[in-house]
Amino acid sequence: MPAKIVNFTLNGRLTEVMVKPLMTLQTVLRAQLGYTATKAGCRQGGCGSCTVLVNGQPMMSCLLPVEDIEDQEVMTLEGLAQDGELHPLQKAFFEKFAIQCGYCTPGMLLVSKALLDQTPHPSRDEIVAALTANYCRCTGYEPIIQAVLATAQRNNGHGK
Amino acid sequence: MTAKAYYQPQSLDEATGLLAEHGLSLLVMAGGTLAMPLINEGISLPEKVMGLRRAGLNYLGKSNGNLAIGATTTLTQMLAQQEIPLLQEAARNVGGWAIRNMGTVGGNLFAPPPAGDFAVALLALDAQVKLVSKSGARIIPLSDFYTGFMATALMPGELVAEILVPEPKGITAYLKYGRRHANTPAVVTVAVHIQFEGERVNDARLALNAVGSHPFRARKAEQAMTGSRLDPKTLESVASIAMEESDPFTDAVASEWYRRKMVGIFVRRALQQIAV
């Protein structure tokens, strides 16, 4: 089977790629399209650093053949800030020092966005449950949880 | 990446047709949470892969009083359904959010221990699996589906199309013990479904995972509690029989010795939840 053309929406823009069979969304994003915010940590679905949103739902891009997302909407970290303005979650991560080395941050932000879109005022437990499969080896998680809580309290985590 | 073809059947018919055509050379994949890590790592190098995401097997329905679960229904969907709380609890205990958005009910039947913490709840509920090939379909009990470590009763050309779960008639409990609170491989997982007549156990299902070559029913332990009250003495003896029936393994998570110890403790705790 030769290379195949796959169309999907990436951060609101129609995107067309030519891929080999079973090529992952992670590889296409990073190597083909240059969207390197999506990290390649374990490539086992274990670390969460490659998390992207597909139709608003967190998925591990390292486990996702890009052919499976034909006609779907993909959001990566590059799509979070709008018109040069940081997303409220990004501001809160910055303020609360929820970023140290930054490797887990793209996944953390996208899962947090998906959570706030579905549950605008999550409890602390709901935040912990949502982020449970995104590993951070720097912050100890507390500043990340605080950043999501702060965003929710400011009532501006929803939408955008 | 060595795959030469990735097939995406649009229906069950098309999927079984592809299976008949390519036979065992075709790797069947649903959510990809089991197959893709092995492919990424180069441990598995399939030339032909069939992905079931678009085969129309993502549904929850009713069939003769059973909950009929399409094989590619995700664990997130099982967490959202409210018909069978035990299956919500089991879904909550698999992976994290993103993995549950990808991993499927059918796929979990193929997860080698210590994975398979959803399937163990299906066992406790007497679930059946519908196996479909180009030439027909058959329904077998899930307990007959497992035949060994990473071995199943699937015949060449067959795939798991649907899982049928009867409505639970008794009380259920689910306990997973891992090294972390969430997103963790199991040391042991226990799923129970008990029907009482008065104070005595009338019918018992006790299913265990991560302590054998596949999720299994501890049938001797089930028999040992049938007809009894779940008093401390019975719990003690049921727990020790379940320990004997287990065949745990040593891995990076826990040793064989520790896993067997924990079988006793968590079987007792699960039954205590029900006895109260």
Mean pLDDT per 10-residue interval, chain B, length 276 residues: 91 98 95 97 95 98 96 98 98 97 98 97 98 98 97 96 97 97 95 97 98 98 97 97 98 97 98 89
The ipTM value here is 0.95
**What is the percent of chain A where pLDDT is above 70?**
96
**Judgement on whether residues B215 and B265 belong to the same structural domain of the protein:** yes
**Cα A14 to Cα B68: distance, rounded to the nearest angstrom:** 37
Separation in Å, CA of B18 to nearest CA in chain A: 14
The pLDDT of residue A60: 98
**Model pLDDT, residue A159:** 46
Chain centroid offset of residue B90 CA: 9
Q: Which residue range is the domain that position B231 belongs to?
A: 171-275
Q: Which of B51, B71, B89 is the last residue of a domain?
A: B51
Task: Enumerate the residues of chain B whose CB falls inside 8 A of the CB of residue A67.
Answer: 6, 8, 51
CA distance B258 to B100: 28
Which of A53, A79, A105 is the last residue before a domain boundary?
A: A79
Does residue A160 surpass a pLDDT of 50?
Answer: no
pLDDT attached to residue B1: 59
- Neighboring chain B residues of A63 at a CB cutoff of 8 Å: 31-33, 36-37, 40, 102
- Quote the mean pLDDT of chain A: 95
User: Is there a contact between B254 and B262 (Cβ–Cβ < 8 Å)?
Assistant: yes
A156, pLDDT greater than 70: no
CA distance B56 to B264: 42
CA-nearest residue to B182 within chain A is A132
In tens, the pLDDT along A87-124 reads 999 999 999 999 999 999 999 999 999 999 999 999 99
The answer to whether residue A155 scores a pLDDT higher than 90 is: no
Q: What is the CATH number of the domain that holds A112?
A: 1.10.150.120
What does the DSSP 8-state code read for residue B194? Answer: E
Tell me the per-residue pLDDT of A23-48, one tens digit each, with 9 for 90 and over.
999 999 999 999 999 999 999 999 99
> Do A74 and A101 share a domain, yes or no?
no
B103 lies in the same domain as B152: yes
Whether residues A64 and A113 fall in one domain: no
Query: In the beta sheet, which residues pair with residue B74?
Result: B104
Q: Are residues A116 and A72 in the same domain?
A: no
The domain spanning residue B261 has which CATH number?
A: 3.30.390.50
**Class of residue A104 by CB neighbours under 10 A (exposed 0-12, middle 13-18, buried 19+):** buried
Using the 3D structure, point to which of A37, A52, A79 is the last residue of a domain.
Answer: A79
Asked whether residue A158 carries a pLDDT value surpassing 60, the answer given is no
pTM for the complete prediction?
0.96
Phi/psi class of residue B16: alpha, beta or left (left: φ > 0; alpha: ψ in -120 to 50)? alpha
DSSP character at residue A65: B
In-domain check, residue A26: yes
Say how many CB pairs under 8 Å bridge A and B. Answer: 91
- Both structure tokens of B154: 């699937």
Residue-number span of the structural domain to which A107 is assigned:
88-153
CA separation for the pair B237, A39 (Å, rounded): 51
Judged by phi (left if over 0) then psi (alpha if -120 to 50, else beta), residue B182 lies in beta
Interface contact B97-A22, CB threshold 8 A = no
Residue identified by tokens 């997973």 is: B176
Question: Which amino acid would we find at residue B100?
Answer: R
Tokens of B162: 């649907």
Mark residue B157 as left, alpha or beta (left: phi above 0; alpha: psi -120 to 50; beta: remaining). Answer: left
List of chain B residues whose C-beta atoms are within 8 Å of the C-beta of residue A23: 1
Output the pLDDT for position B276. 67
Q: Looking at the structure, do residues A53 and A94 belong to the same domain, yes or no?
A: no
Residue closest to B270 by CA, chosen among B146, B124, B145: B124
Q: Say which CATH number the domain at B39 has.
A: 3.30.43.10
What is the rounded distance in angstroms from the CA atom of residue B119 to the CA atom of residue B106?
Answer: 9
Instruction: Indicate the angle between helix axes A142-153 and A88-95, nearest 10 degrees.
Output: 130
Instruction: For residue range A115-136, list pLDDT tens digits in order.
Output: 999 999 999 999 999 999 999 9
Among B101, B90, B114, B97, which Cα is nearest to B174's?
A: B90
A-chain CB neighbours of B8 within 8 Å are 67-68
Rounded to whole angstroms, the Cα distance separating A91 from A150 reads: 10
Query: How many domains does one find in chain B?
Result: 3
Partner-chain contact B98 A60, CB within 8 Å: yes
pLDDT at residue A2, as a whole number? 75
Q: Of the candidates A27, A52, A79, which is a domain's last residue?
A: A79
| H or E stretch covering B196 | strand B186-197
